[in-house]
Chain A
Amino acid sequence: MLELRNVSKVVSGQTHINDVSLTLQPGSLNVLLGPTLAGKTSLMRLMAGLDRPTAGSVWMEDRDVTGVPVQKRSVAMVYQQFINYPAMTVYENIASPLRVAGADKATIEEKVARAADLLHLTPHLARTPLELSGGQQQRTALARAMVKEARLVLLDEPLANLDYKLREELRAELPKIFAASGAIFVYATTEPSEALLLGGNTATLSQGRVTQFGPTIEVFREPVDLVTARTFADPPLNIVAVRKSAGELQLDSGDRLPVPSGLSGLADGGYTLGFQPHHLSLAARAPDALRIGAVVSVTEITGSESFVHLDFAGHRWVMLEEGVHRFDVGEAIDVFIDTRHMLVFDAGGRRISSAGAMAA
């Protein structure tokens, strides 16, 4: 079990990590999700022991390891860049952590063979990394991390430099590769879709803070606040500011909307409504869907889906619809918000759960 207790990291006056507390269980996959400079790499360095926190402590199996250097911890790391020993063969690369640990020849051979087999590197063992494709180079780095059998495995955007399709393959394999080891996995990514495909737990990061930590799908569906919801949305979260009074939702633009049944218990006041692009549709999916008139600005068609960019009362929204839908630019259309999945945030950006709304 890895525990961060109120960890902060300040580098020359700038706060990179701001009061983070996290508990990661053995055998778990934990995604750190956030944009560039949100603090993912800084946090990983603190977990690894590459950096010492400015405040707070790091605990491993109920032992305070704050300040214990990385060599004395059981940590493996894989980076976005494909980092291998260029002069060694793939076999020697994979074997290197075992040789450092002083394993005997038979053990090395057996473990390298198993890792190479799992990562489809067996035919390339005699080559050097530079003779391999990017995907194979990263597989080599992953195999090295795997044979190390570290208790903490840190993967810092390991697939970012790979082709889309290679990413898909390796992403599907990763959980299988590491599943048996019982180690703690931490995986940093900027892409919400990647977090969802990986599953496990997700910690959303924004400006050095962990805004929420929990099972990935739960964080996605039930974000605690607006920052989390926006971090965890791709396409971007659609939002609109409203004021509830006299049984109506008033928008800044002067538009008025009826209050959907789910929100009838909400106290009067200012709120922010948020909803994912796929909860906006051309046809009502539920009886109390909210109908809104919007203007089309751009339509992107992938062949199976359409991303319709809409202007609504000064807000830029994206609607994700199945199938191919073509619209003229500037065309006014009616769209429906699925209020069952609508997220309501109070003036401070905290989400009001539907149960809370009822009680209020």
Chain B
Amino acid sequence: MARIDLDNIRHAYMPAPKRDEDFALKRVHHTFDDGGAYALLGPSGCGKTTLLNIMSGLLRPTEGKILFDGRDVTGLSTEERNIAQVFQFPVVYDTMTVYDNLAFPLRNRGVAADEIDRRVTETLAMIGLAERARQKARGLTADDKQKIALGRGLVRSDVSAILFDEPLTVIDPHMKWVLRSQLKELHRRFSFTMVYVTHDQTEALTFADQVVVMNEGEIVQIGTPEELFERPNHTFVGYFIGSPGMNVLPVVLDGAVARIGSHVMTLPGATGPVGAQRTELGIRPEYVRIGREGIPVTVERVEDVGRRKIVHASIDGHPLAAIVPEDEAVPAEPHVRFEPAGINVYADSWRMDLGEAS
């Protein structure tokens, strides 16, 4: 396993990029630590797959260097980089048995037969396909095929990293849970460096120790799932993570006081002088409390989604979503309060630190 350094990577699909907009990947400078579990999360076209292909060596970046454990691999091919990759649609060798599929990468590298047998048997047990070792790969279900694809990476004990390109796209919801938790368990036991590309926040957040949120070719924030949830650096992160996403309300700031329309509320801390064009308050629906006190709201719609209710309300015409637990009701004449811990303030979409309340 290896540490991966991305040194000022830029990439453009057009031949002579000049302006910033020409780049599919504007500038990425980041280190993936050895043994870490990372997710690249963002909408389609944000550059996450481009970045993954640069790491795997399927694409050569227009600018910048990529290093594995300090060694420059920018010019090296995929096989020379010694990485494993699991694709969106399961790639298996149809005519081979499950066992032979796993042995394939080892045989190609001239590993001794008894060593192959030992490692394949071990890996089959790890991915839970020991009983199907002699079966042809063709007839298996999508989730088993995806396990084989993963197994072909795991079987090579020396891989630098395992890369995942939206691996659960074709898997049924029930099997997603099983595969995800197995992947998590494998990572914990064997500490592979793993990078996982997805547009699905649940997959990214549950899989990764560190989530890299990307938008329009740039990294917007890197953080633990908790940080991304509690302290989104940018309103995009607030919107993109969480379901429903963070409420963003336009406010007028004055020290530790925020004015939302005609209502006034106290912030947990004071902002410094604000020179921004636009100031907003971000609050996740999970931190909006509906009760009889606070700012009056108009409830427009309540969605009962089983384990909780999503209340769509508005404050002076600004939409606001709130979450109410399964067994609680929405009161008549509803008011909302914001949990101080969940309040973030944004200037021109970027988060401002709140100082001590004066």
Contact = CB atoms under 8 A, between A and B. Distances in A.
A111 B227 CA distance: 47
A356 B229 CA distance: 44
Interface residues of B, number: 41
Contacts of A217: 304, 306
Interface stretch (A87-95, A177-185, A254-262, A296-304): A296-304
A318 B284 CA distance: 25
Interface string A320-332: 1010100001000
Contacts of A134: 44
Contacts of A320: 307
Given A133-B45, A164-B200, A168-B244, A298 B306 contact: no
Nearest to A324: B226
Nearest to B183: A298
A160 to B, nearest CB: 9
A213 interface: no
Interface stretch (A9-17, A22-30, A114-122, A188-196): A188-196
Contacts of A220: 306
A190 B173 contact: yes
Given A304-B229, A304-B242, A196 B305 contact: yes
A163 B202 CA distance: 12
B54 interface: no
Contacts of B303: 197, 199
Contacts of B307: 276, 278, 320
A300 B205 CA distance: 8
B201 interface: yes
Q: Give the interface size bracket for A toward B.
A: 35 or more
B57 interface: no
B18 interface: no
Contact of B228 (A221, A303, A322): A303
Interface stretch (B103-111, B115-123, B174-182, B349-357): B174-182
Interface in A128-171: 133-134, 163-166, 168
26 contacts: A35-B174, A36-B172, A133-B44, A134-B44, A164-B200, A165-B245, A168-B243, A197-B305, A221-B306, A234-B173, A276-B307, A278-B326, A297-B185, A298-B184, A298-B185, A300-B206, A301-B206, A302-B201, A302-B206, A302-B229, A303-B229, A303-B241, A304-B229, A304-B286, A320-B307, A329-B188
Interface of A: 35-36, 133-134, 163-166, 168, 190-193, 196-197, 199, 217, 220-221, 234-236, 276, 278, 297-298, 300-304, 307, 309, 318, 320, 322, 324, 329
